[in-house]
Amino acid sequence: MSFSAPLLITAKRDGGQLGDDAINWLLGAYQRGDVAEEQMSAMLMAIFFHGLDHRELTTWTNAMIASGERLDLSGLSRPTVDKHSTGGVGDKVSLVLAPLVAACGAAVPQLSGRGLGHTGGTLDKLESIPGWRASLTNAQILDQLESVGAVICAAGAGLAPVDRRLYALRDVTGTVESIPLISSSIMSKKIAEGTQALVLDVKVGRGAFIKDERSLVLAETMVALGAANGVRTVAQLTNMDDPLGRCVGNALEVAEALDVLRGGGPSDVRALSVALAEIMLELTGIDDDPARHLDDGSAYALYRDMIRAQGGDPDAPLATAPLRETIFAPRAGIVQSVDAMKVGVAAWREGAGRARREDPVSARAGVIVHVRRGESVEVGQPLLELHADDDAHLAAGRAEIAGAVVIGEEPVDAAPLLLARVDASR
């Protein structure tokens, strides 16, 4: 059967369904260069408006997986489980979670990405550690999973390679927020990575990419894709109205994650790390208490082994910013809210994030949040602290952070962190 890109684009533009053979042909032809960028751009926009049903999306995702290689983790002596976050402000949980779950006896192949816009990237954070390297061969990944139990590294170019091109195209065509396209992008890489189980941390609220009830649809869609491919998958919806923890920025977040791994740190970072770890252990059948491994130092010891295995020096001091500016409370009262989006954008503008994937990032830039929703403050009390490498970036952060902390008179309860769990049976 022969296909043509214009006919398939027209069919989806008019709300029709694409057959399995048509989807496989389209993505294969695009990978070969037989479908032009402008044609795939039109198809992505048609999908943005009309979506993909479950059959179409499953076939689309499987075609993306089939565009490259798959890691084979079956030879490992431990059960495998991974976690993926849809992106948040101050979300350093991966740095805690990978060694924590490995300390409980699982193998955690955390193939991570870089930050874009107001959300930070796990690889950017870890690259603030002197000597640490993100790029590993498949053989090195397998060796580290067997010897250490955890690896956080960049996904190899061979895993779902067509997704790299589609991701870049979505970024410049206004189709990033399509739930089918987000789902297939995330799940194609996670399924190709070969893990037996997966926990999805789906962010909801001001600082999330998807801020409303569509986040539940995203969670349900990804869980269904995992189940269709034999990967035990659970999604946990979590609150991203407020920044997670008190530090936003690469080296700042590493330091805060280390506090948690040593048994301390902000209560919300610890609580989310333990909650996600418990689900990961449930999916692997391991009966253990992850909080115990934070308190007894075993998770921190495994973190150090993980960093050393990738060339990093866990004892090296982290870089600190030469310029800092504190924002003080203009009045006394009760903190009504701390806007995660404003904080995330401020850290981005200070240099902690990037507007384009090729942009450099600063290890030192970021924001420290000194107050939380519901806390009482006095006039002149520190609210926020900006960190930057130079005056221009400091001024950019200052402009974005205005109004991030709202102070009022009414008592405010802390927002719930864990919102809903989505299982395949839901």
Q: Where are the domains of the chain?
A: 5-51, 81-316, 323-408
The fold of 81-316 is Pyrimidine Nucleoside Phosphorylase; Chain A, domain 2 (3.40.1030)
What whole-number distance in Å separates Cα of residue 423 and Cα of residue 425?
A: 5
User: How would CATH label the architecture of 323-408?
Assistant: Alpha-Beta Complex (3.90)
Per-residue confidence in pLDDT tens, the chain, 426 aa: 689 999 999 999 999 999 999 999 999 999 999 999 999 999 999 999 999 999 999 999 999 999 999 999 999 999 999 999 998 899 999 999 999 999 999 999 999 877 666 777 899 999 999 999 999 999 999 999 999 999 999 988 889 999 989 988 987 888 888 999 999 999 999 999 999 999 999 999 998 878 888 899 999 999 999 999 999 999 999 999 999 999 999 999 999 999 999 999 999 999 999 999 999 999 999 999 999 999 999 999 999 999 999 999 999 999 999 999 999 999 999 999 999 999 999 999 999 987 776 778 899 999 999 999 999 999 999 999 999 999 999 999 999 999 999 999 999 998 899 999 999 865
Q: 326 pairs with which residues across the strands?
A: 385
Which pTM was predicted?
Answer: 0.94
Interhelix angle 179-192/214-228, nearest 10 degrees: 40
Cα angle 192, 92, 61 (rounded to 5 degrees) comes to 20
Question: By C-alpha distance, which of 416, 293, 360, 312 is closest to 124?
Answer: 360
Q: Is 413 exposed, middle or buried (0-12, 13-18, 19+ CB in 10 A)?
A: exposed
Q: Are 129 and 318 in contact (CB under 8 A)?
A: yes
Question: By C-alpha distance, which of 62, 71, 8 is closest to 225?
Answer: 62
The token pair that represents 407 in the structure block: 């102070």
Q: Are 29 and 35 in contact (CB under 8 A)?
A: yes
**Side-chain half-sphere CA neighbours of 92 within 13 A:** 29
Question: By C-alpha distance, which of 129, 128, 134 is closest to 151?
Answer: 134
What whole-number distance in Å separates Cα of residue 348 and Cα of residue 271?
A: 26
What whole-number distance in Å separates Cα of residue 93 and Cα of residue 185?
A: 21
Would strands 333-338 and 376-377 be described as parallel, antiparallel, or unpaired? antiparallel
With DSSP H G I counted as helix, E B as strand and the rest as coil, what are the percentages for the chain, rounded to 5? 45, 15, 40
Q: Are 43 and 6 in contact (CB under 8 A)?
A: no
Q: 408 pairs with which residues across the strands?
A: 334
Enzyme catalytic residues: 84, 163, 170, 185, 189
Q: Is 4 exposed, middle or buried (0-12, 13-18, 19+ CB in 10 A)?
A: middle
